[in-house]
Amino acid sequence: MLEIHHFLKKYPTGFHLEIEFLKLEKGIHLIQGENGAGKSTLFKAIAGIQTYSGNIILDHIDLKKHPLPYRQQVNFSEAEPLFPGFLSLDDLIIFVSKAKKATENQIKVLKETFQVSSFSANPISTYSSGMLKKTSLLLAFLGEPKLIILDEPFTTIDTGSQDFLIRLIEQKSADGVSFLLSTHQKAFVDLLSFKSVHRLLHGTMISHQ
């Protein structure tokens, strides 16, 4: 499904993340690591919003050679999402649905699932942190991605929302969608069945299974 070759990302601060080779088969994958280990850096690169050296390939599509078809297949919810405050979730749904080719029915189901209808027409500047997180998570499920990257998806959302997010991930995974997840919350590691688990340690990746 996803292959990474000769990956290198260096920041001016001196931090560098290096992955010689990584192959992830279809399934749910966990990336662990302490604060600052490089998880978000890796996720942003795989999502196509971070420069890097090397190659990232999803189902034979190289991100650098074919950025548009690649990005059509990969959705990303950031750990701390930022959106223009004057837009509403409904505005973002219209924009992202066009880019990701989401159907009206899918939008309706996702709005019901994430229970966002009470605030989705309001400007994002008025959202609580949980509403903002739901906004980012909902957008990550739009369209027909092959890979959904969820960086710390369980933070700030309430326990009911955490439960339905687990179910949604399992359901989408059963439909053939792969996931790349990070979480500092151990309880969720035990709730999902991971195909592989990897740990980043000072910019180096150690694979456990």
Tell which residue, 20, 143, 4, has the closest CA to residue 73: 143
Give the closest residue to 168 by CA, choosing from 25, 40, 28, 30: 28
Label each residue of 77-95 as H, E or C.
ECCCCCCCCCCEHHHHHHH
CB nearer to ligand ATP: pick between 61 and 137: 137
Q: Considering beta carbons, is residue 36 or 84 the nearer one to ligand ATP?
A: 36
Mention every residue, 6+ apart, whose C-beta is less than 8 A from residue 189.
30, 32, 183
Rounded to a whole number of angstroms, the minimum distance from the CB of residue 34 to ligand ATP is 7
The C-alpha atoms of residue 106 and residue 143 are separated, in whole angstroms, by 8
Query: In this structure, are strands 53-58 and 2-10 parallel, antiparallel, or unpaired?
Result: antiparallel
| Residue 85 CA from chain centroid, whole number | 21
Binding mask 127-166 for ligand ATP (x = CB under 6 A): ----------------------------------------
Site string for ligand ATP, 16-35 (x = CB under 6 A): -----------------x-x
Task: Choose which of 2, 4, 30, 37 interacts with ligand ATP (CB under 6 A).
Answer: 37
User: Is there a contact between 88 and 122 (Cβ–Cβ < 8 Å)?
Assistant: yes
Report in angstroms how near the CB of residue 172 gets to ligand ATP at its nearest.
23
Helices 104-113 and 129-140: crossing angle, nearest 10°? 150
State both tokens at 108. 């309706």
The single residue among 7, 30, 40, 76 that binds ligand ATP, judged by CB under 6 A, is: 40
Task: Give 48 or 123: the residue with its C-beta nearer to ligand ATP.
Answer: 48
Shortest Cβ 173–ligand ATP spacing (Å): 23
Tokens 């053939």 sit at which residue?
176
Q: Indicate which single residue of 6, 11, 21, 202 sits in contact with ligand ATP (rule: CB under 6 A).
A: 11
Using CB under 6 A as the binding rule, the residues of this chain from 65 to 104 that contact ligand ATP are 79
Q: Which is nearer to ligand ATP, 41 or 75 (CB)?
A: 41
Q: Which residues bind ligand ATP (CB under 6 A)?
A: 11, 13, 15, 33, 35-41, 79
